[in-house]
Amino acid sequence: MALHGWRVRVPLSVVPAGGGRAVVRAVSSGGSPGSPPLVPPAKPKPGVVPTAAASAPSDEMVAALAHFVRSRQRLLVVTGAGVSTESGIPDYRGLNGAYSKGHVPMKHQEFLASVDARRRYWARSYAGYARFSAAEPNAAHRAIAALGCDVVTQNVDALHTKSRVPGAHEGVQESGPALVELHGSAHRVLCLRCESRLPRDAFQRRFASYNAGFARHLERSGTQEEGEGANVAPGMSSESSARPDGDVELGVFDYGSVVIPPCTFCGQDEGMLKPDVTFFGDNVPRATKDKVDGLMERADGVLAVGTSLQVYSAFRIVKGMVDEGKPLAIVNVGATRADDLATLTCNALAGTLMPALVKELAKHNI
């Protein structure tokens, strides 16, 4: 396992007996006496709240995680919404997550079944996109990029892409770290008829031209909020209603008047354009699954970061690898679906622990 830009000496025979299933817990739920209170690493953006109380990472926790990482020749990192919360993108399941505010994400069948559902979706998504797309990678993304590992992310925010180190690339190739967006990217739009893909920025411009009155109304509302939350829905605070997928709550609005632009390639009308993301109730595309399988195969351990692993497409990765005798470590605030499978669980914010990990690994490489 090598840090990007450093060489790391890999110790031999450090995998615990029993195929790496021995439990070396570094969980600290309330913080030990004398440990500093949790302080977000940087001034959080409005609306960015840690999803739950997590202890600041102890030296012991950092050392245990560093040992785990050093012990792997090729580590696969699986990330979730918890790595993006400090970039201002809320998660679904945290204490302050979208679910706790009553948000019900769009389901695939609902989207397909009704043009009204698609109009409602696109109006809200259009409104939320400016803020969503302006998000920047945080310390967790940068630290994960520095590890130089293959990454599978459940996030559709492209923040790993924005933070990745030179040489990393989409998909899987013989060498170099790979990045697979398990559930797609909200920065692309897919035509369900001809399967063409359109950059989201281009779609946003087309949507605005087809819905000029609506777009102007949003703009006016945004400017009234002194720049914060610009381009969000009228009469609402973006912080309280933004979603992990860029969706926002528009309140009372006549969605029937929304026009979804036709596909620029095949001309399909009535809104068969969909963000290039896997909605709840849909399956991960076969090609994506195959890429993930390739990464699982070539890795000898897996690190889950900022994910509760509740979604099966992510859980099956760590479960499959553990079943193959490849050990699992978890960095997350709160319990996950795979805690019982893990060699090491660290109850910590990704944005705090991952940079500490990189620092610790670098110490031994000078």
Number of residues in the chain: 366
Q: Binding marks (x or -) toward Zn ion, 134..173, rule CB under 5 A? A: ----------------------------------------
Binding string, residues 265-284; x marks residues near Zn ion by CB under 5 A: xx-x----------------
Binding window for Zn ion (CB under 5 A); candidates: 114-122, 180-188, 194-202, 338-346: 194-202
From the CB of 282, what's the least distance to Zn ion, in Å? 18
- The span from the CA of 289 to the CA of 351, in Å, is 28
Choice between 41 and 285, CB closer to Zn ion: 285
The 314-343 contact track toward Zn ion, x by CB under 5 A, reads ------------------------------
Q: How many CA atoms lie within 13 A of 71 on its CB side?
A: 21
Considering only residues 289 through 308, tell me which ones interact with Zn ion, judged by CB under 5 A: none
- Of 107, 86, 78, the closest CA to residue 342 belongs to 78
Among the listed ranges 36-44, 83-91, 120-128, 263-271, the one in contact with Zn ion (CB under 5 A) is 263-271
Determine if 192 is a binding residue for Zn ion (CB under 5 A). Answer: no
Least separation in angstroms between CB 139 and Zn ion: 40
Element (H, E) at 170: strand 169-170
Identify the DSSP state of 99: G
Question: Which listed residue (78, 168, 172, 191) binds Zn ion by CB under 5 A?
Answer: 191
Please say which residue, 61 or 190, places its beta carbon nearer to Zn ion.
190
Residue number, 193 or 319, with CB nearest to Zn ion? 193
Identify the bridge partners of residue 189 per DSSP, sorted by sequence position.
198, 275
Instruction: Kindly state whether residue 312 participates in binding Zn ion, applying the rule CB under 5 A.
Output: no
Q: In whole angstroms, how close is the CB of 278 to Zn ion at the nearest point? A: 19
CB of 267 to Zn ion, least distance (A): 7
Comparing CB distances to Zn ion, the nearer of 5 and 267 is 267
**In terms of CB distance, is 134 or 194 closer to Zn ion?**
194
Could you tell me the smallest distance in angstroms from the CB atom of residue 273 to Zn ion? 8
Q: Does 263 bind Zn ion (CB under 5 A)?
A: yes
Backbone angles phi, psi at 83, to 5 degrees: -85, -15
Which span sits near Zn ion by CB under 5 A: 44-52, 130-138, 191-199, 334-342?
A: 191-199
Task: Rank residues 261 and 301 by Cβ distance to Zn ion and give the closer one.
Answer: 261
Alpha-carbon distance of 114 to 52, in angstroms, equals 37
Number of residues lying near Zn ion (CB under 5 A)? 8
Angle of the 212-223 helix axis to the 200-210 helix axis, nearest 10: 110
Nearer to Zn ion, 10 or 266 (CB): 266
Q: Are 187 and 213 in contact (CB under 8 A)?
A: no
Closest Cα to residue 194, out of 259, 267, 122, 260? 267
Under 8 Å between Cβ of 282 and 312: no
The pair of three-digit structure tokens given for residue 65, joined into one six-digit string: 């995680």
Task: Tell me if 194 contacts Zn ion by CB under 5 A.
Answer: yes
| Per-residue CA distances from 260 to 117, 265, 267 (Å) | 11, 15, 12
Residue tagged active-site, from 108, 183, 187, 364: 183
Minimum Å gap between C-beta 319 and Zn ion is 37
Q: Where do we find the tokens 């109304």?
A: 217
DSSP for 285-338?
PHHHHHHHHHHHHH-SEEEEES----SHHHHHHHHHHHHTT--EEEEESS--TT
Is 183 catalytic? The answer is yes
- Rounded Cα gap, residues 308 and 331, in angstroms: 10
Q: Which amino acids are annotated catalytic?
A: 183
- What are the residues binding Zn ion (CB under 5 A)? 191, 193-194, 196, 263, 265-266, 268
